[in-house]
Structure 1
Amino acid sequence: MIMWSTGRIDSNVAYAVMNDTGNFVLVGVGSSVLWECFRYPTDTLMPTQILQINNKLVARKSESFFVSGRFYLPMLSDKNLVLLTQSKLMNIDYDAEYYNSHTSDLGDEANSGYRLIFNAFGSVYILKRSNQRLVLTPPNVPSISENYHRLSHYFDGVLNHYYRPKSKSTGDQKRSTLSSLPDIICLEIVEDIGSGVCEFNRTFKH
């Protein structure tokens, strides 16, 4: 049974490599990149990875169930990065929007966002065509040379920036949360009927 596939690749593959950033790359003759997993994100971005317009992260259904859930993070064609809910997977319409970067400028294309970047220093930001940035991470990011970083759209709908020490000599190897978007999701998604995303009588900060 096939668990995963890159899909059809028309050119011959010379070799495959998993590089230091975590990007799995298929390389053709002449060192041309034929395919790389960083172009096809699932629920996570790694440092040096980019989310392009019309691409998205999709949160998994639960902690241990790795199928598409109901929360999406797309970089829309209107130049906004948004967090959305969608209860019906085959429906093109979203249920609710609970974050919007407001990086679309209809009057000035150069002032509009066009990609979400997780750079090599651990900062996450929306890059505008004018090279201005809307930074989503706190100003003091733990050293990426000393810590593993990842940006994950968690199954509860929160976009979390996690980091964990690389060295075992530091003692605590548990992951820490550098930032979360939104800060308190229970206040951002309110259902008209039923318990909403946080269930009855439950409020938490992720």
Structure 2
Amino acid sequence: MAISDGETWVLASHNAGKIKELRDILAPRGIALKSAVELDLPEPEETEPTFEGNAALKARAACEATGLTCLADDSGLSVDALDGAPGIYSARWAGEPRDFGRAMQRVHDELGEAADRTARFVSVIALARPDGSISRYRGEVAGTIIWPPRGKGGFGYDPVFCPAGERRTFGEMAPEEKRQLSHRARALAAMIAAEFGS
């Protein structure tokens, strides 16, 4: 079902970096994005075993709480030599309070001397509407894990992830450069093509 420009959506996220990135991408489409923080929405427990399941769970909970179209992203880093870990547990590897320096160190420690450093960032965007319908869009970007971390940009695991075909990590890229390559941008591009028709 196509949507019209000028709507207000809710982003079911408390992650400041994610909120800024999605606002920047959706603003040109005329979408006013309110965050779960602004609306004081609780974070539902992520109980699903897949990115798709958790994205839908979060979007549906926010939609039921607000009565508005809600967007949720579930994303993470999947490292091939770690059997896809940290995967859906990417944020949890950072602990509470979240410390992605610690999470990146854990990835490095668990890889040890592994020759295979391939990994991918995965993002699934779920869009839940007040009529009960829900759509899901997946984006991935392949790359390698590097050490030590490089760059202060981005968030999460960006300083240790070098996308395929690049010499710089996501952490070394300007936000607009990362948006051209990121898993979230690819998932959103699929969503925009389906929802806006372009």
What's the TM-score, normalizing by structure 1? 0.30
Higher helix proportion, which one? 2
Compare relative contact order (CA 8 Å, sep 6+) and give the higher one, 1 or 2. Answer: 2
Larger radius of gyration: 1
Higher strand proportion, which one? 1
